[in-house]
Chain A
Amino acid sequence: MRRMLVVVSTVGVLTGGAVDLAPAQAPEERQRQWRELTPEQRQIARQNFRRFQELPAQEKQRILEDLQRWNELSESRREELQQAYERFQRLPAERRERIVQRFRQLQQLPPDERERVMRNWERWRHMTAEERAQAREQIRQQRQELRERGERSNGTER
Chain B
Amino acid sequence: MSSGRHDDLTPDDRDLLARAAAGSPAPPEPRWGDYRAQLRTRLDARRSLGTRVRRWWARPAPIALSFGLATALLLFALQPVERRPDVPAVEDPLLATRLEMLEHYRVVERLDLLEDLDVIRQLDLVSLRGR
Q: Are B116 and A3 in contact (CB under 8 A)?
A: no
**Chain A CB within 8 A of B59 CB:** no
Q: Are B124 and A116 in contact (CB under 8 A)?
A: yes
**Chain A CB within 8 A of B128 CB:** yes
- Mask for B82-120, Cβ within 8 A of A = 1, else 0? 011011111111111111111111111111111111111
Q: Are B102 and A81 in contact (CB under 8 A)?
A: no
B-facing residues in A32-90 (Cβ within 8 Å): 33-35, 37, 41, 44-46, 48-49, 51-53, 63-64, 66-67, 69-71, 81-82, 84-85, 87-88
Residues on A with C-beta less than 8 A from B130 are 131
**Chain B CB within 8 A of A100 CB:** yes
A91 CB to closest chain B CB (Å) equals 9
Q: Is the interface of B mostly helix, strand, loop or mixed?
A: helix
Q: Are A30 and B120 in contact (CB under 8 A)?
A: no
Given A27-B84, A119-B124, A134-B129: A52 and B90 interface contact (C-beta under 8 Å): yes
Q: Are A37 and B97 in contact (CB under 8 A)?
A: yes
Number of A-B contacts (CB under 8 A): 172
Given A46-B96, A52-B90, A106-B117: A135 and B84 interface contact (C-beta under 8 Å): no
A104 CB to closest chain B CB (Å) equals 10
Q: Is the interface of A mostly helix, strand, loop or mixed?
A: helix
Query: Which one, B97, B114, B126, B131, contacts A102 given CB within 8 A?
Result: B114
Most buried by B among A7, A44, A51: A7
Given A88-B111, A116-B124, A120-B123: A105 and B97 interface contact (C-beta under 8 Å): no
Q: Are B96 and A4 in contact (CB under 8 A)?
A: no
**In the bound complex, how far is the Cα of B106 from the Cα of A87, in angstroms?**
14
Chain B interface residue count, CB cutoff 8 Å, equals 47
**Chain B CB within 8 A of A142 CB:** yes
B126 CB to closest chain A CB (Å) equals 4
**Chain A CB within 8 A of B6 CB:** no
Q: Are B120 and A131 in contact (CB under 8 A)?
A: no
**In the bound complex, how far is the Cα of B88 from the Cα of A18, in angstroms?**
16
Q: Are A136 and B96 in contact (CB under 8 A)?
A: no
Residues on A with C-beta less than 8 A from B91 are 27, 30, 34
The 9 closest A-B pairs by CB, nearest first: A45-B96, A120-B123, A66-B105, A48-B99, A10-B97, A33-B93, A48-B96, A138-B126, A84-B111
Q: Could you write out 14 A-B pairs with CB less than 8 Å apart?
A: A7-B101, A19-B94, A30-B87, A30-B91, A45-B88, A49-B88, A49-B95, A106-B113, A123-B123, A124-B113, A124-B116, A131-B130, A139-B119, A139-B125
